[in-house]
Structure 1
Amino acid sequence: MGFLDIDGLGKAHYHEYGTGSKPMLAFHGYGMTGRQFHVLEKSILQDHHIYGFDHFFHGESKLNGWTEQQILTGMPRDLVKAYAEEWFKQHGRQRFSVMGYSIGANLALILAEEYPDLIDEVILMAPDGLAVYKGFDILMNRPWGRYMFKVVTKSKWLAPTLLKNLKRVNFIDQSLYTIAYNEIDTEQKRLDVYYTLNLIRLLKPDTNKIASLINTHNIKCTLIFGKHDNLFPKKAALPFIGSVQNAKVHEVDMGHWLVTKQLDEYLVNLPQ
């Protein structure tokens, strides 16, 4: 493991694992750390050496000198490029791949957009960033939504009540409910949710440009969706899927919680 000292941002902590030799920069989902992908040991980790980054407000990554107002304004997307530039300083400028799950897909996609001539492969699982997600758009970009998000963060009972209602209408499943509830049961955890989503609010990949670059540079692209995922379903990503040539698209019999040994078994047993 190690740290990237990113000027104007802070220390981005990363975990290293995998038995393969191909470098892959990986970005996890909310509430996890850069170790999240270690369960894919029979499939992806056989070919790749993972550099899995902790998001800020997760694991050991720490912002340096950021005020609350800066966090709420959001991290400029050019700082995502700084991840790669600092990584190059440590490991040499070289070809690499990217992987992202859920909100982590935004960072993976931006790196693919910025370094198409160096990217070998893009792997996205239950990805945010391929379509506008109305719920996040309201919370992050609409004045009334941002106000509501702040109020819910400060309240001890509003967030749990909202989660229960989302589960009741099958917007989220039991596994996602359990994970989410465990991330909002204290004021500090609710603040971490609030700060995390605000920090990444400006990290919007240009999906039309990325699809074109994937095609032009013949970048291998694998997209994995949960059949029962109501958060980032396959149907929302169909325009992107239709514009990428030769993308490998999988819809597995799972919900949003994809990065598991079950997915590892699915991937390792795919026909060659």
Structure 2
Amino acid sequence: MGFLQITDLGTVHFHEYGEGKKPMLAFHGYGMTGRQFHVLKQSVLQDYHVYGIDHFFHGESRLDNWTEAQILAGMPKAMVRQYVEEWFRLYGRQRFSVMGYSIGANLALILVEEYADLIDDLILMAPDGLAVYKGFDILTNKAWGKFLFNRVTKNKWLAPTLLKSLYKVHFIDESLYKIAYSEMDTEQKRLDVYYTLNLIKWLKPDVVKIAHLINQHKIKCTLIFGKHDQLFPKTAAMPFINLLADADVHEAPLGHWLVTPALDDYLVNLPA
């Protein structure tokens, strides 16, 4: 493991693991850390040496004296480039691959925007960023959504009540309900959700540009979706997929909670 010291941003912590030699920068999903992909031992980790980066408000990554107002204003998209520049400073400028799960896919895609000529492979799992997820957009960009998000964050009973109501009317399924409830049952967890989603709200990839760059530079692109995922399903990503010349697309018999030993088994048993 190690740290990336990024000027005007903070300290970004990363984990190292994997049996392979090809370097890969990996970005985890909400509520996890950069160690999330360690379960993919038989598949991904056979080929790659993973540098799994902790998001802010996760693991050991820490913002450098940012005020609440700065956090709520959001992290500039241009700062994502500094992750790689600092990694280059430590390990030398070289070719690399990127991987992202759920909200982590936004950062992976932005790196394709910035470094397509140096990227070998792109692996996305249940990816955010390929289509606008209206729920997150409302909570971080619409006035009434921001007001509601703030109230829910600072009220100990409102978040569980709202989640139960959304589950009862089938707006979210049982798996999403359990995931969301486990991340909203204490004040600190609610604050971490609130700050995380606001901090990353401007980290929106230009998917049309990215599809062109993937095709132009012949980046090997693997997209993995959960067949039962209601948050970021394959159907929402089809406009992006249709722009790609040669994508490897899979639907595993899983939900949004995708990065598990079951996914490892699924990947390692795919037909050659």
Give TM class, smaller chain.
Answer: over 0.9
Identity percentage of aligned residues: 74
Contact 1:171–1:231 (CA<8 Å) still a contact in 2? no
Q: Give 1:1-272 correspondences, 5 Å limit.
A: 1-272=1-272
What is the TM-score normalised by the length of structure 1? 0.98
3-state SS of paired residue (1:13): strand
Moved more, 67-76 or 179-188: 179-188
Shift of residue 184, structure 1, vs aligned partner: 1.0
Shift of residue 178, structure 1, vs aligned partner: 2.1
Cα distance in 2, alignment partners of residues 216 and 44 from structure 1: 24
Contact 1:74–1:201 (CA<8 Å) still a contact in 2? yes
Shift of residue 194, structure 1, vs aligned partner: 0.1
Read off the aligned partner of 1:205 and give its amino acid letter. Answer: P
Q: Deviations over 1:43-63 (max 9, x none)?
A: 000000000011000000000
Shift of residue 271, structure 1, vs aligned partner: 1.2
Shift of residue 166, structure 1, vs aligned partner: 2.5
Cα distance in 2, alignment partners of residues 112 and 221 from structure 1: 11
Q: How many residues align?
A: 272
Q: Deviations over 1:176-218 (max 9, x none)?
A: 3222212111111100100000000000000000000000000
Cα distance in 1, alignment partners of residues 37 and 171 from structure 2: 25
Shift of residue 258, structure 1, vs aligned partner: 0.3
3-state SS of paired residue (1:115): helix
Cα distance in 1, alignment partners of residues 176 and 163 from structure 2: 10
Cα distance in 1, alignment partners of residues 36 and 167 from structure 2: 24
Root-mean-square deviation (Å): 0.9
Q: Deviations over 1:37-90 (max 9, x none)?
A: 000000000000000011000000000010100000000011100000000001
3-state SS of paired residue (1:191): helix
> Which ranges of 4 or more aligned residues in structure 1 deviate by more than 6 Å?
none
3-state SS of paired residue (1:123): strand
Contact 1:171–1:230 (CA<8 Å) still a contact in 2? no
Cα distance in 2, alignment partners of residues 170 and 124 from structure 1: 27
Q: Which runs of 5+ in 1 are unaligned?
A: none
Contact 1:183–1:190 (CA<8 Å) still a contact in 2? yes
